[in-house]
Structure 1
Amino acid sequence: MVGETVGSAGQSGDPLLGGGLLLAENDLRLLADSLPHIMWVSAPDGFTEYVNRWVVEYTGLPEEANLGWGWVALIHPDDAERARNAWDEAARAETAFESEYRIRRADGEFRWHSWRSVPVRGADGRIAKWIGTASDIEDRKALEESLRRSERQTAETLTLLETLQSAAPVGFGFVDRQFRLIRANDWFTDIAGAPVGRLIGRTVAEAVPAIWAQTEHLYRRVLDTGQSVVGTELTVHPKGESDGVCSWLASFYPVRVNGEVIGVGVVVVDLTERKDAEAFRSVVMDEMAEGLYTQDDQGRLMSMNRAAEEMLGWTEEELLGKRMHDIVHFQAADGTPIPASECPMRKARAEGRPIRVDDQVFTRKDGSIFPVSYSSAPLHIGSTVGGVVIVFRDITEQRERQRLELATRHDQQLESLGRLSAG
């Protein structure tokens, strides 16, 4: 041990010198026991000969239980083989070694330690002892794991964002406080007519001047107020062409770091096809001579064309969200109420097939009724029936023509009978 090594080096027979060496050994023990780290001394073969007081307190085992090869039993089972191999390699190479593995504390918890051991050589150059220390690094390990987990989550988030940016049919961008485009996905290529790589670092005014003219005040508002601007419609010519118009729905959001707004995030959705479809639908619906309206699965009005408004006397806004059966087709021609459960439109929705009715009456806003012929077809939303579409026409004139035709035919028959009687 330490005392033996020092004593053997000072064999002179001088009692004063011997007393001085004994005092030095006590000082070394005092110093070793004061260290808040595990410390030990072992023989050249690894047999532990001395441990400091911290080992006894940390392991909760008496000193003799920590001597010899008792340290092996304290190592975590998953680390034991690696620890023994590290020691064997150091002993074979006769070089210092460092390693990290877990040992069991007195309360049974395994905690990570950093192990260091160096050989002490005698005058002949051969290893006389090994002196080692072990420091508790559990908190550092936990911090490293937390950092790795945070880095992994950050990498996953960035990967997800990049995937969304590249795959989503939506424009994403980030503009700094100097209005330079810092990030953008490939969708912006269709806006500016240039590869995204050539746009990064340029100002919005340089990259897409037509858009900047419409959005400069919005960017400045977000930076000045820190408030989002959502749902702004933009109309531009695609790639600077004069023919054709694109409609976009843009939203602008403040991007903050530690509470400070560092720029503006931009999300742009292309509404061109939807706008074109709505325009086409509006033209078709408004130019139809027949009335058309749609209602949801509860029978509430969702939309109505101009012909329907003219025939019913109500505007779309007046009936929007109201049950059409309770207002328009709740009665028969003689005023008899029609229960909602017997409404043919309910049947069309329930059976999922078109229904045609030729002898119904609708009620106008002024309370008057008029005969209609209508068809009701299920309105499919995905794989479910979300409502019905009703197309109807006023057949008052048709009924009048039929009445006149019947009257004329009746008169003709009477006239024929008169001639036959006279003959």
Structure 2
Amino acid sequence: MSESHGSQGVSRPSGDSIVGGGFPVGLGDVRGLVDEIPHIVWLSGANGSTEYVNRRGIEYSGLPAEANFNGAWVSFVHADDAARAKAAWEEAVRTQTSFEQSYRIRRADGQFRWHDCRSVPVRGADGAVVRWVGTATDVDGQKTLEENLRRSERQTAETLTLLETMQAAAPVGLAFVDRDFRYARVNDTLAAMAGMTVDEMVERRVAEVIPAAWPQVEPFYRRVLDTGESVFGSSGTGAFGTDPGRVHSWLSSYYPVRVDGEIVGVGLIVVDLTERNDAEAFREVVMENMAEGLYTVDDQGRTTSVNRAALEMLGWTEEELLGRSMHDLVHFQRADGTSIPIGECPMLTAHTEGRSIRVEDQIFTRKDGSMFPVAYSSAPLHVGSTAGGVVVVFRDITEQREQQRRELEERHEQKLESLGRLSAG
């Protein structure tokens, strides 16, 4: 699969052919064997001009057996690879060194597939190149696999970098506490709340860092570890071990952290409310800075507060929602349009049963009537010792669903491709 150089003629032994079906004189006895090789095989003259392409190459290209490949092979190469492949081949012929390149070759059906192409010079007794022998091996499946792996590694690295950046820059305290109640990971914000550096705080027990507050927060840690349920919006007050003269107030949420289904510790989000004790400060620090939608309702299901992310996702204004039933406006119907009676709404179960609820697949309705899938957590909102309403945190999972659909389609296509290769073999 090579082309001649310049306008000079091509000299061949008498009887040689440059067509696909031809085979150079003296090598005809192995033609049958070469035609059975499941790779494209070609022979070129000393100057790089094509003399023979085996049956696999003829079938792959879709050209008739008598087709003249000489000078035309570049037209089968993908436009993005053609110049590179041609230049590499010309350099190999000029320097009389082996040729190795990977590029995409067009199949008879128009599809381009990656091939590893190699060609080595055959030398005569005097050491001069008399012919080139080349092969093209289909490696499209391997290339796809490698690309998927690279993409997966890149996405993983990007995700880790994003999480580390968000953790470092987050205006709230973040930590991971292991099953021995030791801080395994802490961000700068939480360390600053404790009046310590991250290095000083890591590996120390929670009870050592906040001894006065430990009796308040210990039940939440144990509940998460014992039940696997999250605890949202728990308020607390106390002094830190490094600052015993000052009483701090904070709002904390505790989440189970699982590895292979096993709870290995507790994720902690802490908002320091020491300098922000009024409701407006709470809204700005906690609600307005959340990427997830958040709203609260009273014991009658009427909206008492809603954050900016929720308003943007739902299409309502705060004035339109406050005092109205979120069930009647937002989560009153299923994906098929059938209504959900308020008594069957799982979101309000958090209030009636006094426990947190997590739902991974629910339908919310926007102001314009359009619906979108969400995952949400609903937890009782305590006022003093009683549950005075419900706090709901939700996120749009439309993109997540689409990603899952694409992954399923990709796996399906890979299976079909594998079956096709097995059939061909």
Q: TM-score range by the shorter chain?
A: 0.5 to 0.7
What is the one-letter code of the residue matched to 2:255?
Answer: Y
- Choose which of 59, 64, 67 in structure 2 pairs with 1:65: 67
Which has the larger displacement, 241-250 or 251-260? 251-260
Indicate the residue corresponding to 1:78 in structure 2: 80
Matched-pair contact (CA < 8 Å) for 1:228–1:254: yes
- Cα distance in 1 for partners of 2:40, 2:266 equals 55
Distance 1:301 1:227 in 2: 25
Alpha-carbon distance change, 223 to 64 in structure 1, aligned in 2, over 3 angstroms: farther
* Residues 47, 67 of structure 1: 8 Å contact kept: no
Q: 1:179 to 1:122 in 2, by over 3 A?
A: farther
* Counterpart position of 2:217: 215
CA positional deviation for 1:25: 5.1
1:229 to 211, 218, 231: 231
Instruction: Identify unmatched segments of 5+ residues in structure 2.
Output: 1-11, 14-24, 281-301, 305-321, 325-425
Secondary structure, counterpart of 2:88 in structure 1 = helix
Secondary structure of the 2:67 match is helix
Q: 1:255 aligns with which of 244, 254, 257?
A: 257
Q: CA deviation at 1:79?
A: 1.3
Q: Give 2:164's aligned amino acid.
A: E
| Residue of 129, 132, 157 corresponding to 2:159 | 157
Aligned length: 265
Unaligned segments of structure 1, at least 5 residues: 6-20, 279-299, 303-319, 323-423
Which residue number in structure 2 is paired with residue 101 of structure 1? 103
Q: Give CA-to-partner distance per residue, 1:161-203, whole Å, 9 cap, x none.
A: 2332222221111233444433221012223322113333444
- Describe the SS at the equivalent of 1:268: strand
Question: Aligned partners of 1:97 and 1:150: how far apart in 2?
Answer: 32
- After TM superposition, the score normalised by the length of structure 2 is 0.55
Matches of residues 338-349 of structure 1 in structure 2 within 5 Å?
Answer: none
In the alignment, residue 169 of structure 2 is paired with which amino acid?
A
1:276/1:80 CA distance change after superposition, 3 Å:
closer
Distance change (3 Å), C-alpha of 1:252 and 1:42:
same
Which one has a larger percent helix, Structure 1 or Structure 2? 1
Please report how far the alpha carbon of residue 234 of structure 1 lies from its aligned counterpart in structure 2 after TM superposition. 2.1
2-side partners of 1:254 and 1:163: how far apart? 22
Contact 1:51/1:66 (8 A) holds in 2? no
Q: Per the alignment, do residues 188 and 116 of structure 1 end up closer, same or farther by CA in structure 2, a change over 3 Å counting?
A: same
Match of 1:245 in 2: 247
The counterpart of 2:131, out of the listed 129, 132, 135, is 129
Q: Aligned match of 2:90 in 88, 92, 95?
A: 88
| Corresponding residue for residue 116 of structure 2 | 114
Letter in 2 for 1:142: T
Alignment partner of 2:55 out of 29, 53, 56: 53
SS at match of 2:31: helix
Task: After TM superposition, give the deviation of residue 131 of structure 1 in Å.
Answer: 1.5
| Per-residue deviation, 1:211 | 4.9
Q: Which residue of 2 aligns with 1:40?
A: 42
Return the offset for 1:84: 0.8
Query: Match for 1:189: what amino acid?
Result: A
Change (3 A) 1:191 1:120: same
Report the counterpart of residue 141 of structure 1 in structure 2: 143
1:217-243: per-residue Cα shift (whole Å, max 9, x none)?
433332332221222222221453332
| Secondary structure class of the residue paired with 2:245 | coil
Larger Rg: 1
Whether the aligned pair in 1 keeps the contact of 2:257 and 2:267 (CA below 8 Å) is yes
2:200 aligned with 1:198: yes
Deviations 1:99-131 (A, max 9, x none): 111111101112221212222222222222221
Q: Which amino acid aligns with 2:225?
A: L
Per-residue deviation at 1:210? Answer: 4.6
**Residue in structure 2 matched with residue 340 of structure 1 by the alignment:** none
Distance 1:77 1:233, change over 3 A: same
TM-score by length of 1: 0.55
The offset of 1:213, in angstroms, is 4.5
Match of 2:168 among 166, 169, 188: 166
Question: Does the 8 Å CA contact 2:210/2:239 hold for their aligned counterparts?
Answer: no
Cα distance between partner residues in 2 of 1:185 and 1:45: 66
Contact 1:191/1:239, CA 8 A, preserved across alignment: no
Corresponding residue number in structure 2 for 1:268: 270
The residue number in structure 2 matching 1:29 is 31
SS at match of 1:275: coil
| Inter-CA distance 153–301: structure 2 relative to 1 (3 Å threshold) | closer
What's the offset of the Cα at 1:276?
A: 6.3
State which drifts further: 124-133 or 254-263.
254-263
